[in-house]
Structure 1
């Protein structure tokens, strides 16, 4: 059912959800890709997580810009335009009758089918594989107020010359390893440091602290350019809240007034403890204010206001 910021209630409708594979619609049991697909074989591809609000996909242009930018960076041709991708997204939503709230979409693009198990892209013999999985999935209401417990793991966010953390690739083994370590420590999610020992991000969300009325997040050098992360920075600045992208250490975290995570699925979620150090026992005023501002921006985006 997911844990922490990804906790959700199971929905029986997902057993018969319709999935788009390369522009064709399949019932969930029939939606398949080849064992020679680049994503399955090598984690070679990029993806996006999308939320549907009021029948519209929130911040869609920003998500697609990141998707196509990532594909270009790894020399992968998605094969269809952004406008065609939008048509596919809304077509599969329509096929599922998903015209309201409570829907999450995983949009995945891989380099395509390989002729043999080998990493060289020159053995790819098909166009890109595009899969769109929409599900009835809403974060549990308590996510907005429940205090998350984070654990700092030994797994670091790496240098960009190894695998650039800004790339939203299918290769997520470092984040999975971090998640496993945090889970075994009894935490909801992992807090990950950069190669220099500064706070970078969580394994599946971004991390912020509040100190003396200021909002801090990492420099961004060693984390994904998160859509919700960027949106929170924007709305804070628009509201006159001092917000800084900077290096800071665990000492700053342990002494913070408030802390929170951001992500597409759950928006903003408060953090109560990190490594056993208590940050707070209930959602703080800054987190509550930013949650309200984020929901207002979300509504504005999907309504076209």
Structure 2
């Protein structure tokens, strides 16, 4: 939870939630118990930020959403431009301009009976947009803590980790284990024992003045992850997508995680080992580059 903690905002008590193009007060927003997302976790989703009245990296988010829906043979029923307009209309109805996190969820729709076969779906896709006022709370100055979970990121023929679907049970297991261990997030390995990602964020280390992240074979191609990789290339920082082990992690000079909600966050400790000296100089440089990139959106 510490990687996604936010300032409590009383305005969220009265937000309007968009369900299939219709706005409902928060306490009246409901979907059917026969919805594919509720019954089976059958759907795709995105988390977006509204920054100074604009949706940050919205084209990248839409591509991932529609690519995932296509892989699942799920018809969203709206063009990308129409869906973006619906998101913006939801924000405008809530008088939102900045410091907003949006959860966009698309499921296959309502079923005639609780069964997995898509052919028993009897409605169009269910599209839910929840926009909330959310400003991330800064972690301790040292950064967040991680614990390596026994839950692995699996092969794509079991559950493709590149799909941002509602079926997140492996990540939930990892999250629970991290919480029981008293840390902020779980670090997850791939089937071969190399570092893959975290349960809800992406993972980087800094070693010998280079930035390393996983090969990407066993993790979602995160929007912030990809932007950080591109920022490294643009600013002459050596960045590598490669296999590396926990031994490399423990010996790293710095570590940080990335995500849409909080951007870049330093990591202070992993499995009880302190990471580096706590200087985090490279992380701070990349944090500023990322802030500048968001400001350039428009």
Q: Shorter-chain TM-score: what band?
A: over 0.9
**SS of alignment partner, residue 143 of structure 1:** coil
Aligned residue for 1:72? 70
Q: Distance in 2 between matches of 1:167 and 1:146?
A: 32
Kindly tell me: are residues 87 and 144 of structure 1, through their superposed partners in 2, closer, same or farther at Cα, counting changes over 3 Å? farther
1:52 partner SS:
strand
Q: Is the 8 A contact 1:175 1:204 kept in 2?
A: yes
Query: What is the aligned counterpart of 1:207 among 192, 203, 208?
Result: 203
The 3 A distance-change label for structure 1 pair 83 and 214 is same
C-alpha displacement at 1:102, in angstroms? 1.0
1:174 to 147, 157, 170: 170
Counterpart pick for 2:50 among 49, 52, 55: 52
Find the aligned partners of 1:5 and 1:174 in 2 and give their Cα distance: 18
**Match of residue 148, structure 1, among 125, 144, 147:** 144
8 Å Cα contact 1:227-1:264 kept in structure 2:
yes
After the TM superposition, which residues 1-305 of structure 1 pair with which residues of structure 2 at under 5 Å, given as runs?
Answer: 3-99=1-97, 101-140=98-137, 142-143=138-139, 145-280=141-276, 282-301=278-297, 304=298
Aligned length: 298
Distance in 1, Cα, partners of 2:140 & 2:222: 19
How many Å separate the matches in 2 of 1:203 and 1:281? 25
Q: Does the CA-based 8 Å contact 1:143-1:266 persist in structure 2?
A: no
Contact 2:252 2:276 in 1 (8 A): no
1:108-159 Cα offsets, whole Å, 9 max, x none, are: 000000000000000000000000000011101x238441110000000000
State the secondary structure of the residue aligned to 1:256: coil
CA separation of 1:283 and 1:51: change in aligned 2, threshold 3 A: farther
User: Mind listing any 5+ residue stretches in structure 1 that lack a counterpart?
Assistant: none
> Could you tell me how far apart the structure 2 residues matched to 1:76 and 1:110 are?
8
TM-score by length of 1: 0.96
Give the superposition deviation at 1:283: 4.7
Change (3 A) 1:283 1:111: farther
SS of equivalent residue, structure 2 residue 7 = coil
SS in structure 1 opposite 2:139?
helix
Distance in 2, matches of 1:185 and 1:24, equals: 42
Q: 1:192 touches 1:202 (CA, 8 Å); kept in 2?
A: yes
Distance 1:174 1:76, change over 3 A: same
- CA pair 53-146 structure 1, distance change in 2 beyond 3 A: farther
- In the alignment, the residues of structure 2 paired with residue 136 and residue 246 of structure 1 have an alpha-carbon distance, to the nearest angstrom, of 37
Give how far 1:11 is off.
1.0
The CA RMSD measured in Å over matched residues stands at: 1.0
Is the contact made by 2:2 and 2:144 (CA closer than 8 Å) also made in structure 1? yes
CA displacement 1:67-103 (0-9 Å, x = unmatched): 000000110000000010011001000000002x210
